[in-house]
Amino acid sequence: MDKRKRRVRHGMVKERARILVVGGGYVGMYTALRLQRKLKAELRRGEAEITVVTPDPYMTYQPFLPEAAAGSISPRHVVVPLRRVLDRCQVVVGEAQSVDHARRTAAVTTLATEEEGRGARLFRYDELVLAPGSVSRVLPVPGLADHGIGFKTVEEAIGLRNHVIEQMDIASSTRDPALRDAALTFVFVGGGYAGVEALGELENMARYAARYYHNVAPDDMKWILVEATDRVLPEVGAELGRYTVSELRRRNVDVRLGTRLESCADRVAVLSDGSRFPTRTVVWTAGVRPHPVLDATDLPRTDHGKLRCTAQLSIEGTTHAWAAGDAAAVPDVTAGEPGRTCAPNAQHALRQARVLGDNIAHALRGEPLETYAHRYAGSVASLGHHQGVAQVYGRRLKGYPAWFMHRAYHLSRVPTVNRKARVLAEWVLAGLFKREIVSLGSLEHPRAEFELAAGGKPSPEPPHNPKGSS
């Protein structure tokens, strides 16, 4: 008799282990993937079941969002369909609203619960993986809630691409010089990889697109990067951070270090150095905070609101609850100083997910748990235009080699052979043919034309979920 059967017989574990994974991002998807491999036999015998609750039926490979915004990769290829990849799990498209770990239940709303007009569905579980990731850390800057644009999801990336091209169309057709200036001014707040890469790729795309406008030249556009600290891309080190600033400035990007956005009310970006820029584009990438659903749980958290975890990725002081990724404070056992936790990035999230999956399988079988230990290997970032920076295992690269390494690294990392092949094909085609420069912003109002034809007024309401379109 194997260990689990003995434990079931002695009442130590339930006949069927119900594993609930909240979140279908890096941690959620890779943990479920690992579990469905590790627990293959248990799943076949009906001794385990894995349910993944996630608001979208896909995992987003976030490092590709800047390229999706620039149009180098189609939005559908930066996402991984969860139902296909997690074919031995139950995927529920919905959102956990709260978790009562004392009772081992999670309240989940889905599209169906909305339609039914009934309350949230209660999911009972034996093991919980809580991985809702993070949301943008929005500061109380006047006008930001009304005019700011985030850059964390594929919808935001596509929306931003359409928006930038639309601004060029406005600038090209307006008779008002002030409106033209505002349309051609693009302000990005936050000098981490999301902000720098998004600006680098979009500036590159807009510069290319300008050649097809009779009256918009690349030098008519103002691209501004605002960063509160005195450096950008801290992940690649000080020297490459300085190189990034000089490279962006060489491309006429106005990089303002030690500067904050104080207001963007009335579509005027006011900076802490006193400058004012009328603009219709403020992209906010100034940091992240743990997902607010954690407020609705009874699990222990740090002062920063993250789930307090052990190095084995269980949630401290609890049993049968696990976490990793952006929502979790996981001790960095390689740091050599107590209290240090792993940074919120994909590198840790992916590796933590593997250990987390293994540890749940170990726990179910009564085996000892593994400790998560990964020394940060460094970072790669693209600045667009065949430019990049990379710092890997202490080796520093810049320019074309770093850009190439960025692509090679992410191609090797993006999940599934299917996605790798499609992304590679798109890069090859982009090298052979001209880039796409159209905005399909009207996809956000697909019924407008028909409503007009039917004699009604076009509804201002965008449809639910205008996803994956460009």
Ligand X SMILES: Cc1cc2nc3c(=O)[nH]c(=O)nc-3n(C[C@H](O)[C@H](O)[C@H](O)COP(=O)(O)OP(=O)(O)OC[C@H]3O[C@@H](n4cnc5c(N)ncnc54)[C@H](O)[C@@H]3O)c2cc1C
* Site of interaction with ligand X (CB under 6 A): 22-28, 53-56, 62-63, 65, 95-96, 131-133, 151-152, 193-194, 291, 293, 325-327, 344-347, 349
CB of 216: closest distance to ligand X in angstroms? Answer: 27
Which lies closer to ligand X via its Cβ, residue 109 or residue 174? 109
CB of 78: closest distance to ligand X in angstroms? Answer: 10
CB of 410: closest distance to ligand X in angstroms? Answer: 7
CB of 213: closest distance to ligand X in angstroms? Answer: 28
Which residue of the chain is nearest ligand X when measured via CB? 25
Secondary structure of residue 380 in the 3-state scheme? strand
- Any bridge partners for residue 391, and if so which? 379, 396
Could you tell me the strand order of the sheet in which 321-323 lies?
A: 121-124, 105-110, 90-100, 48-54, 17-22, 127-130, 321-323
- Any bridge partners for residue 187, and if so which? 224, 282
Residues 27/68, Cβ–Cβ less than 8 Å? no
Pairwise CA distance, residues 152 & 154, whole Å: 7
412: left (phi > 0), else alpha (psi -120 to 50), else beta? alpha
CB of 65: closest distance to ligand X in angstroms? Answer: 4
Residues 232/257, Cβ–Cβ less than 8 Å? yes
Token reading at 330? 């996981």
Q: How many CB atoms lie within 10 A of CB 56?
A: 18
Token reading at 314? 């269980």
Pairwise CA distance, residues 194 & 136, whole Å: 11
Pairwise CA distance, residues 304 & 310, whole Å: 16
CB of 137: closest distance to ligand X in angstroms? Answer: 12
Burial class (CB in 10 A: 0-12, 13-18, 19+), 460: exposed
Which lies closer to ligand X via its Cβ, residue 202 or residue 270? 202
Which lies closer to ligand X via its Cβ, residue 65 or residue 364? 65
Pairwise CA distance, residues 160 & 21, whole Å: 31
Which lies closer to ligand X via its Cβ, residue 312 or residue 382? 382
Which lies closer to ligand X via its Cβ, residue 40 or residue 124? 124
Residues 390/243, Cβ–Cβ less than 8 Å? no
Residues 32/22, Cβ–Cβ less than 8 Å? no
Which lies closer to ligand X via its Cβ, residue 277 or residue 281? 281
Which lies closer to ligand X via its Cβ, residue 270 or residue 286? 286
CB of 379: closest distance to ligand X in angstroms? Answer: 6
CB of 284: closest distance to ligand X in angstroms? Answer: 12
Token reading at 305? 């609101």
Which lies closer to ligand X via its Cβ, residue 44 or residue 124? 124
Structural element, H or E, at residue 66: helix 65-70
Residue appearing with tokens 């207001």 = 263
CB of 367: closest distance to ligand X in angstroms? Answer: 25
Could you tell me the strand order of the sheet in which 261-263 lies?
A: 261-263, 268-271, 276-278
Summarize the chain as % helix, strand, coil (round to 5): 40, 25, 35
Contacts of 311 (CB under 8 A, 6+ apart): 330, 331, 333, 371, 372, 373
CB of 92: closest distance to ligand X in angstroms? Answer: 9
CB of 51: closest distance to ligand X in angstroms? Answer: 11
Which lies closer to ligand X via its Cβ, residue 22 or residue 216? 22
Which lies closer to ligand X via its Cβ, residue 182 or residue 282? 282
Which lies closer to ligand X via its Cβ, residue 4 or residue 398? 398
Q: What phi and psi values does residue 230 have, to the nearest 5 degrees?
A: -95, 15
